[in-house]
Structure 1
Amino acid sequence: MEKLATERHNVDAVHDRLRGAILRGDIPPGEVLQQVALAEELGVSRTPLREAFRLLQREGLLEGSPNRSYRVTSFSPRDLEELYVTFLPLQALAIRLTIPLLQSSDIATMMGDLAQMDHYAEAQDVEGWEVPHREFHRRLIQHAGRRVVELLDQLSDHAGRYRRVYLAGTSYGFEAAAAEHRELLESCRAGDTNLAAARLAHHLAHTALDVLAMADDAYEPHALKVALAVAQLPLPDER
């Protein structure tokens, strides 16, 4: 039993370390992972490493090949669009479920998140900015239920991977994002679920469209535009 627990711990530790490195861009898109070298670097056998690879493949961060090699999933406009087609409507649902349950303390905490984002934006610190940014967005959907929150956390990680590659090291988007975040918070404070859902969907689509334009300005994101329209639809009793 102790051996099984140790193996599970090794798998979890390797998975978390590799996942973080991929999401941060330390292991770049398209890179082939060398199992022998990685196992030696991480101080584990190849068994937990292969299990961690399978978990990352299931999440969509690694791609396997018939010769049992793995590489980090490459970026593509289509992949980004498919990500946000899932992300937008689910985020709109989650914020609708959350707003009626928000307390004044939640609003105060989100105000603090915005202040921290302003601080890091002024310093042009993208990695520092990502921490309160992630917390702010998670609070917007915190009462949507465990399964929804966990899925959105995963999708948010994948979206952040794109943002880091295309936006890191620039001031691109900070001012527009700050204004949209303030509008989102005001909608939450007012308890306006319809407006908040529309603003959140627009905010996320703004980011996706900006990154798509930077990646391939000729790409036509038809599916993303449909998802945005769906996410912004008011509920029947709010028409």
Structure 2
Amino acid sequence: MAGEIPDLHAQERTGTGKGAARQARREGRVPGIVFGGDIDPLPISVPFNELLKRLKDGRFKSTLFNLKVDGHDDVRVICRDVQRDVVKDLPTHIDLMRLRRTTKINLFIPVEFVGEDTAPGSRKGGVLTVVRPEIELIVTAGDIPEQIEVDVSGLEIGDTVTISDVTLPKGAKPTIDRDFVIANMQAPSGLASSDDADEDDAEETAADEVPATEQSED
């Protein structure tokens, strides 16, 4: 994972159940649970404002955190679920999973496309169509990439980029075995319409050149 692993501060909850969860929310905190790692689950709560900010920043579920809880050793965790209020769409509960640095997990990693402006296809009016803005990869917990960079500077109109064209981080591999498409350079809509019209004209011309069938004499 690029950069330093960010800290996520939490408090241990003394109670469990709906009553304790409601109390945490009244105190401006979001209840949660930490599970995995062959030890008992740990009920926690995190500051509402801090969690909301991290959610708005994006990539919360694909970020490895260093969880800090008073009275407990720091542990690396990743979010497995964020429950939200169905009306306000605000977080009401989070599930965190403990990880070892060598743990393999499936994550959706954002794709960053570079070189679109200089691509030959773009200069001819082509449009880069993104098929997969994220790619699901099997990655090591200690080396989660922030994004996958895809260079499209050499694309001509009609070219495609598949997963086999992308250099993935060491130890990462796609969850899908086949060579799937990530993006393609499509012709501009005007050119496509013109091509269709040319084909129609060609068909009409060909039809006009076909000699009429002679009628037999009675």
Normalising by structure 2, we get a TM-score of 0.29
Q: Which has the higher contact order (CA 8 A, sep 6+)?
A: 1
Larger radius of gyration: 2
Judging by fraction of residues, say which structure has more helix.
1
Judging by fraction of residues, say which structure has more strand.
2
Normalising by structure 1, we get a TM-score of 0.28
